[in-house]
Structure formats: C-alpha cells, structure tokens
Amino acid sequence: MAWAADGDELLPESEFPHTMSSNLFLSDGTVVGRALTQFGDTADGFTASLTVYLPTTCPEEVLEHHLRHYAVEFRNWITAAAAAGA
C-alpha cells in the first residue's frame, strides 16, 4: 500500500475504509502496472473505486482482459456476500 499512500486517487478513509493495492507484474517479476481498490459501506450496500495503472504502450487486449477479470471477480464477491446475508 506504500506506493499509493500519497496518491490523489486515495479516497478518505472515513468513507472508504477498505483499501487494497497491488503491483501487476510479468513472470520475470518486472512491475508493469498497479491496481488500487477502495471500498466503503453505504446504507444500501457499498461503493467502490477501482483504479488500474498500465503503461500507455500496453496492448488493448491486456486492458480488456483486466476489465473482464474485475467484472468476474467483483460479481463473485457480491454474489457471495448476498448469499451470506452480509
């Protein structure tokens, strides 16, 4: 989380207390991007801010793959939370 601590994208902890960050890297360990996800509870459920940093030279299919990954991952989390009554 240290790399995101002073980022403009980091939202107020009072509204977004659940924050995760990670590096995106190649199989050889080279960092090629970063992700910052922030969540906060609301009266009706939750709100989220999802930020991904990729190089401008990154192929379009890499971005599309990551967007599909987010869609599946967060759908699974939301479905599991709803089933658990959380």
Write down the domain spans for the chain. Answer: 2-84
Is residue 12 within 8 Å of residue 40, measured between CB atoms?
Answer: no
Quote the CA–CA distance of 50 and 14 in Å, as a whole number.
17
3-state class of 82 per DSSP?
A: helix
pTM equals 0.71
Alpha-carbon distance values, 24 to 19, 27, 55, 74, 79 (Å): 16, 10, 11, 18, 26
Q: What is the pLDDT along the chain (86 residues), one digit of tens a residue?
A: 555 666 667 777 888 888 888 888 889 988 888 888 899 988 888 888 888 888 888 889 988 988 899 899 989 988 988 888 76
| Distance between CA atoms of residues 82 and 72, nearest Å | 15
